[in-house]
Amino acid sequence: MDSQTSQPSQASPSPHTFQVDLRGLVDLLSHHLYSSPKVYLRELLQNAVDAITARRAEQPDAPAAVRLYAEGGTLRVEDSGVGLTESDVHSLLATIGRSSKRNDGLESARSDFLGQFGIGLLACFVVAERIRVVSLSARTPDAVPVEWTAADDGSYTVRTLPREARAEPGTTVHLVARAGAGEWLSPERVRTLARDFGALLPYDVRVGDEPVADLPAPWDRPYPSPAGRRVALARHCRELFGFTPLDSIDLDVPLAGVRGVAYVLPTAVSPAQRASHRVHLKGMLLTERAEQLLPDWAFFVRCVLDTDSLRPTASRESLYEDETLAAVREALGERIRSWLTGLAANDPERLAAFLSVHHLGVKSLARHDPEMLRTMLPWLPFETSDGRLSLEEFAQRHPVVHFTRTVEEYRQVAPIASAQGVGVVNGGYTYDSELVEALPAVRPGTAVSELDADTVTAHLDTVDPAEELALAGFLAAARSRLDPLNCDVVLRAFHPLSVPALHLDDRAARHEQARAEAEEQADDLWAGILGSLRGSTPRARLVLNHLNPLIRRISSLGDPELIGTATESLYGQALLMAQRPLRPADSALLNRAFIGLLEWATHTDLGKDDRR
């Protein structure tokens, strides 16, 4: 091999420039970056506002006007901003992604800008087939107007114009609608979008002669009275979100540059439903669907606010998750928490009205905030054996606050426990058991205990040993019938008398029941594995009420088969009373018991007829 050919080349490779397919880029913008073509108008307004901001940084008394004119599938946007020179046009409009905020010493003022000129103007191709920009720079005294014209195929031209083409500094953007997009440039649509995006802009923005901005913001306006302010904000909420709020909460966080209001929903919503909020960035509407603005527990409010500190994503349609957003989220959560505390101290009627709808959100907050739980103890409602009460009132009535972890367990024991003087809180609803368990920490001296089958049974009166011994045959037959169901039969005396039987179990018993069922249906390998998991075999209990007349009659039966059928019927009725879901074996037992009782009744009636 030639030694020269084995040496690596020392020549530097010539650089190449990426070729951009503008049609493909427009498709990417319209289908993946932006949620709707309507954002084209926001980008135009952002460019105009940024240009005015840049000019005022150098000329504080410069005019600040933006005018939009829509007619016949075209749109003209004029601003009195800083304008562009010919070199600006080449560097900003011909180079995708270049930002005007980095030029001419304006880096220190970047926090006052909203968008990025090149990409923002490029977004207009979502609705336009041709864009024409005419601009006159305010920075260069002898500058002449410059024109940049571009088509959606990626071609563009740049030329200078005579002085009379534009007398005052600023920029005019002309759009011509692409096929099928004319509606987006109609006067009605432009007016609606301009009002939506620019309602809080600090400059004189008009569509034709009609003002767009509506300043000051509703939450910053003076009102004759607090009641008048509430009425005005409620009207604003109806216009913005379509509902009349229960109340409004000021969101004023000066350190984070946030001003706005949170509106309390008038109806309950699911905690899993993501709340959407309206966020303006320096007056321009950024998004109507900001989901991460508030803590998760504050799902009962909808917010509208203006900020100058939060960072938008690339599409400028949502918020970038960073430390600033996390700090704002915490600060806004603190404002809502303070509002709740203020209601508890000063307006209990409004607090009660709020909690009747949104107690779930407050419970979610109170789980992690002991001070909030302490404040809300007299107000948060819980389902108890004494009715719907607050934990504070319930704890005053009962020395020990018993609770169940599931609704099914509560339904099993609540009527019986109440009759025995045992207070029970239904902890089966979202967050409730956690809050009951946290009660001793915020209310010292309070005893809390989970109510299980053993506790309930211990509170029921035992039957005289002689009477129970006399019923040994009956109890043996009943236990034999329910033994395959892993259920014991015990005899107790309790109130109310109308309850013949009570089915009691706990999670351990249900777990063992599920394990046993799985073992029966498994193959040999899995049956062996499941069998090895068998513990002390906890069992459910059917507690028969010796005070109930029906139980007394059944216990006097002499036929073991009839006793078994009656016991199965009592077992099924106790399950139904507890509103427990029935397993296939339980449903089969109910059907068998029902048919058995019919056969017994029919057989008895036929016997009577034969004797006649």
Q: Determine contact, residues 136/143, Cβ cutoff 8 Å.
A: yes
pLDDT for 214-266, tens place per residue? 889 999 999 999 999 999 999 999 999 999 999 999 999 888 889 999 999 99
Burial of 427 (0-12, 13-18, 19+ CB in 10 A): buried
Q: Is the pLDDT of residue 69 over 70?
A: yes
pLDDT for 495-550, tens place per residue? 878 889 888 876 554 444 554 555 455 555 554 544 444 444 567 889 899 999 99
Mean pLDDT score, 131-144: 90
Predicted pLDDT at 600? 83
Q: Could you tell me which residue, 453 or 117, shows the higher pLDDT?
A: 453
Structure tokens at 18: 């990426």
Q: Is the pLDDT of residue 353 over 70?
A: yes
Predicted pLDDT at 503? 84
- Residues 122 and 98: their CA atoms lie apart, in Å, by 12
Please name every residue paired with 132 in a beta bridge, in sequence order, or none if there are none. 149, 174
Say which range, 16-25, 81-90, 138-147, 345-354, has the weakest mean pLDDT: 16-25
Which candidate, 33, 63, 38, 69, places its Cα nearest to that of 51?
Answer: 63
Burial per residue of 202-223, b for 16 or more beta-carbon CB atoms within 10 angstroms, e otherwise: ebebbbeeeebbeeebbbeeee
Which candidate, 250, 282, 254, 279, places its Cα nearest to that of 263?
Answer: 250
- Residues 259 and 220: their CA atoms lie apart, in Å, by 8
Predicted pLDDT at 537? 56
DSSP E strands in 380-444: the ranges are 381-384, 387-390, 400-404, 424-426
Burial of 532 (0-12, 13-18, 19+ CB in 10 A): exposed
- Residues 68 and 204: their CA atoms lie apart, in Å, by 11
H or E element at residue 147 = strand 146-151
